[in-house]
Structure formats: structure tokens, C-alpha cells
Structure 1
Amino acid sequence: MLHEVTAVRYVTPLREGGSMPGLVEGDDHRLYVLKWVGAAQGRKALIAEVLAGELGRGLGLPVPELVLLDLDPVLARSEPEVMIQDQMRASGGGNLGMAYVSGALNFDPLCFEVDAELAARVLWFDALIGNVDRSWRNPNMLVATGGLRLIDHGASLIFHHHWPGAQGWRLKPYDASDHALRRSAGPLAAAEAELAPLVPAALAAAVAAIPEVWLVEEPGFETPEAVRAAYVEQVTARWEGRSVWLPELIELVEVAE
């Protein structure tokens, strides 16, 4: 389960991305980037954030801490912009919070060097979760003291937007031609050997961390536990079938070297 934090102060909107996340202070006196459950992307984007983020952390990748952030809509009174007020009022209750990385800069592949082994691990991970949002145009990575941070995984695991066709995602090739770390990555075979054995346990923990409130009344499923089982089945099938999609990815990285 995610650690639960209550938002006690709304600090400012972060005017980046379609969901316009907000910066809030929690009752633990820490700052969090709040991603709204009432945003246009909806709860599916937050589910993807939790599953992918916690899976990445379980694989040893640098993902900032995620929490379940309880928001009282009354905090909207401190925000002058009507559109953001409306979003806050639509997001009462449990939202997603990501630990704020102080002093971080947006990653630019032309300005920052990345360790080749880490780049390979990130690329392998993104291929596993089908992350289509780590291009050089929009890397969704931060650079701060301590190195790289991976953020914004809401566009991964897109199969859950259409469960009846979800099986088609399992062996789908991963297009890494525009990936921000493609030219920095070392041998993917080493990343595969390191990360693949960790997936089952990390996946189980990541799926268990998804807040139940985001899984209720999912069309086609009778219970939240049935939805969790479906996520495990999907990602496990992709992990087991990596001999189908991984060779093409390895070849693409070797060409870039």
C-alpha cells in the first residue's frame, strides 16, 4: 500500500503537462507534486503511475516516492484560477502525490550525460511497461543531486484503456527510435540479466500498492482484486514473452552505439 498523506496547504500550480499538477504541502511537512484524480486523464493515468512507478522502484530504478495524497476541496479557495479551482473541487479525497525533487532540472539529452548501464536499465524497463512518453522531445526525467529521477508514467500500460483488446499489448514491439536514452544505453543484455529476475516480486508489490478506490466498478470485473489479478497477468505475460520484443530493441540500441 502507498503511504497516506493529507494535503494541508496548496502552494502553487506547476504549469507543465496536460493535467496541470499542483505543488502541495503534506501533514508530514514535505512537499509533493499532486496529480489530480479529477483531471481529464482520470484514474487510469494514476493507476499507471503507481504500477509503473512502484515496479520501477522495485527494480532499483530512481523513481521519486509516491504517496496517496488526501485533498480537501476547500483548499481550492487559495487558488485564483477558476480552471484549477474546478479541478481541485473534482479531486476531493485520494489523489497521487510524488515527492517533490528540490532543485531538479528537466533532463536534456544534449546537456546531461547518463551512465550507460542505468540508461540501459531504464530503456529495458520502459519497453516492459510500454512507456510511450520518454522521447527526447519530452523525456519525463529530472536531474538533481544524486542523479537522474524518472517521473510521469501515466502514458504507460495503455492496455487498461481497452481491456477486451488487452492481449494484443503483451507481445507488441517497443518503438525506442525516439527514446531519450537510446544513444546513451549500454548493452541491453546486461540490463535484462539484472532486472528480469526481479520482475515477479516487484510486480506483485506494485499491483498491491494501487489504491482500491481506483479499482472499484471497473467494467468487466466484479471486484478490485480481479482487476489487480488482470494487471499481474498482463505484465507477467509481457515479461514472459520478452524473447519476442526484446531482440529488435537490442538491435536498435546496438545500431545507435
Structure 2
Amino acid sequence: MMPLTVIEILGRSQEGRTEPYICRCDDGEIYFVKGKAATRRGLIAEWLCAELGSQLGLPIAPYAIATVPDELIEADLSGAYQDLGRGHAFASSRIGTTELNRTHLSYIPLSLRRDVLLFDWWINNADRNMTEVGGNPNLLWKPTEVGKLVIIDHNLAFDPDFDPAEFFRMHVFSSEAEALFADLQLRDAYHLRLTAALKYWPGICDTLPEEWDFIDAEQTIPAHFPFKAVKTLLDRVSTDVFWQIPS
């Protein structure tokens, strides 16, 4: 997708931890846009995961880098748009979906449930939880398309405090883990897919906006995103440890 420019801020979503802004971009479409409030780390994680997920063929919601012009923020006398901020932001298309609930789970193809589980395990994303008593899986459902899942929200991926045991207890598709991790043929197939996606890592990193390397608009305070540690995390797919479910 080509870079976008935000031309109108319509409001702010009350859903999601970062409460993204609802914006119209210069292509005429509506997007959920995350900026300053999502932090540089969160924005970088969003982009890296969206790109890796797309390389794997996962149904990531259409996304792009969107520029928020200075004049939009300067015209905001109320201060309501300050959490969006100016400059580059992460935009995710607002598409005709509803939030996933437990009644949808049986309609999702087994292969896709496994894909999502393994992707989140790979990127240390503990933010896709659903149990019998509820949760927030950060998945959307297209009611007009049977089995059509839409994946969103990866700003909390690469979590340094990731708890493997908690992940397998809480993940929306945790019930698929035992059979998946025990199947050597599936493991080999996933290893090929994940390592193939990882070959694009240098190019993916090169597409990040330069300003995201800094916390401040003047670009004097480095954001210090842990690229080396994240790459090491992703590389563990080629180790036996990756396929061990904690007891």
C-alpha cells in the first residue's frame, strides 16, 4: 500500500488499549490510526509484525504508514489530538467487521487457528487472549464471509516480560498447541514458512520511518528499539526450544 496522508480526524476509538484515532486519509478511506500514544516501540512492533504476518499469508487488516500533517495538530485548540501527534503513524483500515466472540471459533479453519497461535508464539505476543469467562483476542470477524478472520493489534509484541506458561493458558487458540507442537511434519512445514518470512527482515526494517528511531520530534533522543534482541527472538524458530510447551 502507498503511504497515506491523514486529511481529517473524525474522533477517537474507545476500544483498544491505545484508543486509536479514527481518521480519513487522502485515498478517501477510513483508518484507525495510532501515533504518539502508542509509543515508538509500539509503532515499530506494529509495523514489523504486520509485515512478517503478511509474508506468512496471515489475514492482517490492511495497513500503511500515514502522515499526520502539522496543520491538523496545530488546529486542535482543545488538545484532543495530542495523543496522535504529528508525523508518521500506523494506520489500519476500518473494514466491515465485528469483534470475535466464542461463537465464531468453530467456524475458523484449523490451519488458520494454528497459524495465529504459532505466529503469536514466534513474536512473543501475549495480547490475544480469550477464555470461558471472556478476554480480548484482538481478532475481528467478517460476518459476511464464513471463516474470515482479520488480525489486528501487535503493538505489545516482542514483550520482554513474556510468560510462556501464561501464553499457553490464555491464548484464544491454545487448545491447538499440543497437537501442533507434537506433529513433526507440521513443525517442519512451519519452520520453512517462518524462516522464509524472516529472510525479508532487513528489508522490513529498512521501511520503517526514520523518525521512529527517536522519541522526540527534534530527533535528539533515541528510541532504542531492541532490534538485535528481537531478531534473536525470531531466530529461535530454528532451535528445539521453540517447540517446547512449558509444563
The TM-score bracket by the shorter chain reads 0.7 to 0.9
Q: Distance in 1 between matches of 2:152 and 2:129?
A: 13
On the 8 A contact 2:123/2:234 being kept in 1, the answer is no
On the 8 A contact 2:73/2:86 being kept in 1, the answer is no
Match of residue 87 from structure 1: 83
- Within a 5 Å distance, the mapping from 1:176-215 to structure 2 comes to 176-183=168-175, 187-188=180-181, 189=183, 190=186, 193-194=189-190, 195-215=193-213
5+ residue gaps, structure 1, are 160-167, 222-226, 253-257
Match of residue 148 from structure 1: 149
On the 8 A contact 1:77/1:85 being kept in 2, the answer is no
Q: How many pairs were matched up?
A: 226
Q: Which runs of 4+ in 1 moved over 4 A?
A: 76-80
Identity, % of aligned positions: 24
Match of residue 127 from structure 2: 133
Q: Distance in 2 between matches of 1:158 and 1:3?
A: 29
Pairwise CA distance, 1:98? 1.0
On the 8 A contact 1:204/1:232 being kept in 2, the answer is no
Q: Distance in 2 between matches of 1:17 and 1:23?
A: 12
- Within a 5 Å distance, the mapping from 1:35-184 to structure 2 comes to 35-36=34-35, 38-39=36-37, 41-76=38-73, 82=78, 84-88=80-84, 91-101=85-95, 103-112=96-105, 113-136=107-130, 137-144=135-142, 145-146=144-145, 147-159=148-160, 173=164, 175-183=167-175
On the 8 A contact 1:7/1:25 being kept in 2, the answer is yes
5+ residue gaps, structure 2, are 215-220
- Listed one character per residue, the Cα deviations across residues 165-184 of structure 1 (whole Å, up to 9, x for unaligned) are xxx98xx7462211112236
| Cα RMSD after superposing both structures | 2.9
- Answer with 103-112 or 188-197: which moved more: 188-197
On the 8 A contact 1:117/1:191 being kept in 2, the answer is no
TM-score in terms of structure 1 length: 0.76
